[in-house]
Structure 1
């Protein structure tokens, strides 16, 4: 079979013609048959001299662990202030009223603002530079939190932390969605996202060990939490410079033939070109602000962020109020996170196996509502603690499913760059909201915060339903002759930048 018959990197119309030339299996691809796609994928591997399984293992080893390590450190540095609270940071710094909540809030202001900018800069400076510099900065900011003497010092350190961490979460999902097909993605996305639950568990465990293992009278235990975790982060930053992956088109761990194979394989599934070689500017971002799907994606994520950060920041406080000591509360806060880690990965396996995303996102969201209701509606300590388990497994399994689904439904570098950055950046406004939901005056039941959290999950569910119906409508619209003709009238550059709006791209439902 000649190479020219397998040139799947041409435009959509030529690709369909070539598919027909490849015989029955290729024709099945045009109609969306998964067996046909797998056949073409094997032909691609033969064309480029690639062993599929070995390459897939290589990608998994070189991409996912480095990103997990990065975000594990980032999330740990972000939420360790909740552990410091149990060890007396408020008393030592003389925090009064809502000053602790303000210290939480200021992190999110720069984080929201710089998220989209970070995705744009990654295309210019390469992700491994962005990640390493970002991690070094937020490691230093975390160490700084351990030496602050006042409320003003704490706020300043948290602002720097927010600026530095803005180049992490959105960019990570941007990169992950550039390496994996829809059938492969959910397990990797969720396995990565489960690092947040491990970070939550590790935060409580580290704080517990610090209390038992460090007897330095010159520094309070809460200061050691920041210093130790920040120092480890700085060390990891140097390591990640050498192991963090760039985009597939420039990744150093891939050979030239592997890059070509991966690019064409992903194009087989999406039916659109990635557009990596095309330079785009901020002006190309502007029309995307008119697309309602980006706002629906962001609002759905925001609805989950509010209760998720509320839980991450205040779970240890809630558990302590159930009758545990500060040290025992740190220990008991670990177990719901571990339960969430297991559940996330089970759901991810089922989602990939059944090739269904939104069913699991919606069901996990409903589980989260159940858990929050258990904490809100009961005075029984055992029921409220059980609600912490149900809440964590619901929230932290819904979020990776949602982000994975929205990322895979974006085609081309322009729309992926904008869509992931906008979703994560706008969605993290929920972090600002969350910090003022669980106020000291509402303890011990926090009815206002829990009730509002339930409302935000309901908002997310409504947006999820809208996304499914809207994308289903777009899939139908793309089959219309008028839509196809209008798209073909665009210039080659405009067609590539349109990404998933191409007629041949089918949204996952």
Structure 2
């Protein structure tokens, strides 16, 4: 990157015709000892640091914390699958589809409160809201290990869904307010990879905890909930002090660093409008954009295979003839493979600054995996290989889809509502997934695999329509031009609907 004498040599190098003043503004005309520029945005970096150093500082504070937070959230919602291997259903005398109903009840509050949760996150600040929710879902998980009957299990699963409702959309929303669109995929995939790590970690942990069977009078499945819930509560207390807020409120950054982060995001995504609260009218206006609906179906279609695997993989693997501990250990490699593959996909997606083709590729891999499981029933090695394709495809496609949609939403208001909608609506697929794999269909589970293929195809179709929509709107705006007589405040309210905004394909 070459050094330039003056940031204002080009009209595109200025930040704003009427830039803000005060501590949150970095003056590009001040003398600089280190003129570090972004190739495409031309935003000057503060003189005491470089872009790479500053992004590394942000990465170390934002991504690991949110990844651990969601790892524990995903672990606490899916560890019931590991507990089932150790006799949860027999001990609680669950009959028929009661186990599936217990899985389903989690999604009722989880879906209903996604959008209110993101609004509260913006109002209360991420540090307070996310750590508070984390402590509550850890406490509920502990209670889940103490239940004595089906009713108690239903109650704890319901409140677990209520406590976890803000974890995923809140974290994705927060990450999106720190990074440019071309930088986001690697961060999103690493964060989303915490689901794969949770699956792998959960299998390893469950294999060890299973040896505590009958310790202090508790069966092994109860210890899974008690110990993992306790871990979440302890981490939540620590995270209250370190979960990052939005860039505008980040006291761990210097004032000129905050201004630089904010300026580069404004150049890439438009102004955020964080200073105005979200109203009911804002929420309604978001849904006037048909792309918002498509974003929901993109995620919805893949959630069915994602939760279908997460909730039933131990049972599927147990059907291959492994012992209880062997089942837990064999559940680890597919999760680990999906984590590595997701990072590879993310790296190349950011490298070429493209999302659509990577979505098509990964969904196709997922469909291939389910096709193997649907058609092969007497070759354990081939079936096990199919599980790798399922996890690698599904759990690599999900972060690309959410990142693509989320980072194409401009401003706090549209992003807060749009992200929550996508995750909330999409998680209706979790309800379908909980009834896709029934005990009567074991061990072949043909209906379940067929359902997963169908919904993966739905996600692929919605993604294709979304890709066509953003490409068409970009070309339309290029033809009509940027200057339509709109003021800065009007463009601010429009977010990504502004004529200045260009979507990433």
Q: Please state how far the C-alpha of 1:382 moved relative to its aligned partner.
A: 1.3
1:44 aligns with 2:44: yes
1:96 aligns with 2:95: yes
Partner of residue 354, structure 1: 352
- Which has the larger helix fraction? 1
- Aligned partners of 1:37 and 1:269 also within 8 Å: no
Equivalent runs, 1:80-479 vs 2, <5 Å: 80-213=79-212, 216=215, 218-270=217-269, 272-379=270-377, 380-479=379-478
- Aligned partners of 2:41 and 2:268 also within 8 Å: no
For 1:113 and 1:188, how far apart are their aligned partners in 2? 27
Q: TM-score, normalised by structure 2?
A: 0.92
Q: Please state how far the C-alpha of 1:50 moved relative to its aligned partner.
A: 4.1
Q: Please state how far the C-alpha of 1:492 moved relative to its aligned partner.
A: 4.8
For 1:396 and 1:481, how far apart are their aligned partners in 2? 39
- Aligned partners of 1:112 and 1:428 also within 8 Å: yes
For 1:67 and 1:243, how far apart are their aligned partners in 2? 10
Alignment CA distance shift 1:328-1:501 (3 Å): same
Give runs of ≥4 in structure 1 deviating > 3 Å: 1-7, 9-12, 480-484, 491-494
1:8 aligns with 2:11: no
Alignment CA distance shift 1:384-1:266 (3 Å): same
Alignment CA distance shift 1:56-1:494 (3 Å): same
Alignment CA distance shift 1:176-1:381 (3 Å): same
Partner of residue 17, structure 1: none
Q: Please state how far the C-alpha of 1:396 moved relative to its aligned partner.
A: 0.3
Alignment CA distance shift 1:366-1:101 (3 Å): same
Higher mean C-alpha deviation, range 423-432 or range 286-295: 286-295
Q: Please state how far the C-alpha of 1:493 moved relative to its aligned partner.
A: 4.0
Higher mean C-alpha deviation, range 196-205 or range 1-10: 1-10
Q: Please state how far the C-alpha of 1:502 moved relative to its aligned partner.
A: 1.2
- Aligned partners of 2:7 and 2:14 also within 8 Å: no
Q: Please state how far the C-alpha of 1:268 moved relative to its aligned partner.
A: 2.1
CA RMSD of aligned residues (A): 2.1
Partner of residue 32, structure 2: none
Q: TM-score, normalised by structure 1?
A: 0.91
Over residues 77-97 of structure 1, what are the superposed CA-to-partner deviations in whole Å (9 max), with x where a residue is unaligned? 010000010111111111111
Unmatched segments (≥5 aa) in structure 2: 1-5, 20-27, 30-35
For 1:79 and 1:314, how far apart are their aligned partners in 2? 9
For 2:218 and 2:451, how far apart are their aligned partners in 1? 38
Secondary structure of the structure 1 residue equivalent to 2:39: helix
Aligned residues: 483
1:505 aligns with 2:490: no
Over residues 224-257 of structure 1, what are the superposed CA-to-partner deviations in whole Å (9 max), with x where a residue is unaligned? 0000000000000001101101111112222111
For 1:123 and 1:323, how far apart are their aligned partners in 2? 49
Alignment CA distance shift 1:9-1:250 (3 Å): farther
Over residues 305-332 of structure 1, what are the superposed CA-to-partner deviations in whole Å (9 max), with x where a residue is unaligned? 0010000000110111011122211110
Alignment CA distance shift 1:92-1:501 (3 Å): same
Over residues 390-410 of structure 1, what are the superposed CA-to-partner deviations in whole Å (9 max), with x where a residue is unaligned? 100000000001111111111
Q: Please state how far the C-alpha of 1:435 moved relative to its aligned partner.
A: 0.2
- Aligned partners of 1:170 and 1:424 also within 8 Å: yes
- Aligned partners of 1:146 and 1:226 also within 8 Å: yes
Partner of residue 26, structure 1: none
Partner of residue 3, structure 2: none
Over residues 367-404 of structure 1, what are the superposed CA-to-partner deviations in whole Å (9 max), with x where a residue is unaligned? 00000111111011111111101100000000001111
Unmatched segments (≥5 aa) in structure 1: 13-20, 23-34
For 2:252 and 2:434, how far apart are their aligned partners in 1? 41
- Aligned partners of 1:145 and 1:158 also within 8 Å: yes
- Aligned partners of 1:174 and 1:417 also within 8 Å: yes
For 1:205 and 1:385, how far apart are their aligned partners in 2? 18
